[in-house]
Chain A
């Protein structure tokens, strides 16, 4: 028997058998010790701190040799009670919470939530067109930045370092756009009930046009690194198989569903935010495997760029139009402007509420502290996030705060397919399968 000297890599006897803690130290010693036991069946605990589990996902794998006989997911390590918290803040403040759920697609969380609030308020058709086009443009940029992480980390987990560097370089450019438009690179709280927080800054469209051109060239390079790479193909083709029947019963949506050949995308099937007015295609494959899912993501990048270009030309025509609903009972009263100290309320607005109009001050105070009332009722709104159907259940009791906010996060649902994709396969394929689901634990655990 080998004795472990590493205090973090010890073994102990339990009622379920011998338990080894491994942190990457002396593998030979471990192999020798396990090899000496008669037990064929090994239960391997992978995560919640593991570089290949996309954050704090815990996988419990039952192995016979290197073959997986059973897989279970342990989640909840990132549960932060966002849904409960929103019940104690007003409807507008909810945006700031929900943007932090699936942190790789904040704009989608915000938009889904705001579409729900607007549906409850009955102002869906009153949202200015310019705001809607900006939302679509932001969502498509966000789809790109999210897919870049999926591709980059997916490749990294399978041992390809260069695509990760390339993907994160491109993602950086998208985050720069977010920063220019909203002031923040992540968790922007930019989409608000009734519109968006502020209009585009000067020169934004020119910068966006240049970035789109830039991204289009670099996506092609990135694609070449993976699509024809024989190691990539061997690691991904025929791995993580899940067919259409499996997807429907498990409620799987997004690229995983589209890799079965079904062109189901809510942007086409049940359009929202005016997606019916844009020209784009829904890429599909019929391989049902990891390779197909990554291929779909790569092709979706190009479609997102197409949509962004159409948004830019629409925005040029809508120059000077409002970006917030006209109803003063809902639109945030402040007028944002860039001051010497960065962003803030415009001096004109401060002058009005502090020196000129008592009513304006009261209105500002009421709307900012108390918030607006939302008629009682219940809605479900769903949008196509980079990972699939992002649904929002909202319940209002007629007050200024949500009665219940529930997010049907696609990562949460899709992660259920891990056992179906992995069992019977090899342990190295688990990493590929999980990467192809592209779960974001912030969204899974909320």
Chain B
């Protein structure tokens, strides 16, 4: 991945020189065992409880003292059920989306933070899908609390959570078009139709200078 510019400025106006910088982003690779801490225990438990472990898990990342399991969308439901019932991760505290436009066929990531009160441990699941086919099975039947979090992730990123009981927008208006947290969505918004007139986004308005 590479990224150019410092402040995201294009065209004129940038006299600082930062606009010419190009820097490379690093994609953190898979971590090899031992993972350290309780992570090996979690991985062992999951491997024992779930025979298809090696097929379902794309990669395991341990970074900054946190464990992330990258899981294939098609296997998410099974893994989640085992994590809840057998590994005692009773809570899914939230779902978070991240948009990586440069990652081919894996532009949209859904990130689930799991908490086990019994074990007093946390792990993270990450599921990657493409922009063209952004389908992930909903985990509402496993953890009812993911209901609103999945709606928010749909609202902001356009990830479709299959079999969600009511996947509608939650923060943006119901008839909104576009997914605001995607990287290609402008910060200052899009043009708005109001009482028959169209109000352009601030950057598209008439300039008086």
Interface readout for B78-104 with A: 1 if CB under 8 Å, 0 if not? Answer: 000000000000111110111100000
Interface bracket on B: 35 or more
| B122 smallest CB distance to A (angstroms) | 7
- The interface stretch among A40-48, A247-255, A298-306, A343-351 is A247-255
- The interface stretch among A176-184, A272-280, A281-289, A371-379 is A371-379
**Do B93 and A389 touch (CB < 8 A)?**
yes
**Do A119 and B187 touch (CB < 8 A)?**
no
Asked whether A416 and B64 contact (CB < 8 A) given A393-B96, A397-B25, the answer is: no
How many residues of chain A get a CB closer than 8 Å to chain B's CBs? 48
B54 interface residue per 8 A CB criterion: no
- How many Å lie between the Cα of A169 and that of B21 in the bound state? 54
Asked whether A251 and B117 contact (CB < 8 A) given A380-B122, A395-B98, the answer is: no
Which of A248, A264, A377, A400 counts the most B-chain CB atoms under 10 A from its CB? A248
- How many Å lie between the Cα of A249 and that of B149 in the bound state? 13
A408 interface residue per 8 A CB criterion: yes
- How many Å lie between the Cα of A135 and that of B146 in the bound state? 31
A295 interface residue per 8 A CB criterion: no
**Do A251 and B172 touch (CB < 8 A)?**
no
**Do A370 and B93 touch (CB < 8 A)?**
no
**Do B26 and A376 touch (CB < 8 A)?**
yes
**Do A393 and B147 touch (CB < 8 A)?**
no
Asked whether A398 and B64 contact (CB < 8 A) given A248-B90, A403-B98, the answer is: no
Interface hits, A408-438 → B, CB 8 Å: 408, 412-413, 415-416
Interface readout for B151-190 with A: 1 if CB under 8 Å, 0 if not? Answer: 0100000000000000001111100000011000101000
**Do B180 and A252 touch (CB < 8 A)?**
no
| B68 smallest CB distance to A (angstroms) | 7
Partner of A413, one of B6, B94, B170, B185: B94
| B63 smallest CB distance to A (angstroms) | 5
| A189 smallest CB distance to B (angstroms) | 20
**Do B18 and A270 touch (CB < 8 A)?**
no
- How many Å lie between the Cα of A262 and that of B144 in the bound state? 20
Interface readout for A145-160 with B: 1 if CB under 8 Å, 0 if not? Answer: 0000000000000000
**Do A251 and B3 touch (CB < 8 A)?**
no
A363 interface residue per 8 A CB criterion: no
Asked whether A380 and B117 contact (CB < 8 A) given A76-B171, A406-B96, A408-B94, the answer is: no
- The interface stretch among A26-34, A83-91, A221-229, A233-241 is A83-91
Which residues of chain B have C-beta atoms less than 8 A from A416's C-beta? 144-145, 147-148
Interface readout for A333-347 with B: 1 if CB under 8 Å, 0 if not? Answer: 000000000000000
Which residues of chain A have C-beta atoms less than 8 A from B18's C-beta? 370
| A112 smallest CB distance to B (angstroms) | 13
CB closest chain-A residue, reference B27: A376
Q: Which 3 A-B pairs have the closest CB atoms?
A: A251-B145, A408-B94, A76-B171
Known: A76-B173, A249-B90, A380-B122. 20 other contacts (CB 8 A): A76-B170, A76-B172, A79-B171, A83-B181, A88-B187, A120-B64, A248-B91, A249-B143, A249-B145, A251-B146, A378-B63, A378-B111, A393-B111, A400-B6, A403-B98, A406-B94, A412-B148, A416-B148, A445-B171, A446-B171
Which residues of B come within 8 Å of A, CB atoms? 1, 3, 6, 8, 16, 18, 23, 25-26, 28, 63-66, 68, 90-94, 96-99, 111, 113, 115, 117, 120, 122, 124, 143-149, 152, 169-173, 180-181, 185, 187
Would you list 20 pairs from A and B whose C-beta atoms are within 8 A, ordered by A residue? Answer: A76-B171, A76-B172, A76-B173, A81-B180, A83-B181, A248-B91, A248-B117, A249-B145, A251-B91, A377-B63, A382-B93, A389-B93, A397-B1, A397-B25, A404-B99, A406-B94, A406-B96, A413-B94, A416-B144, A416-B147
Which residues of A come within 8 Å of B, CB atoms? 75-76, 79, 81, 83-85, 87-88, 119-120, 122, 248-253, 262, 264, 269-270, 369-370, 376-380, 382, 389, 391, 393, 395, 397-400, 403-404, 406, 408, 412-413, 415-416, 445-446
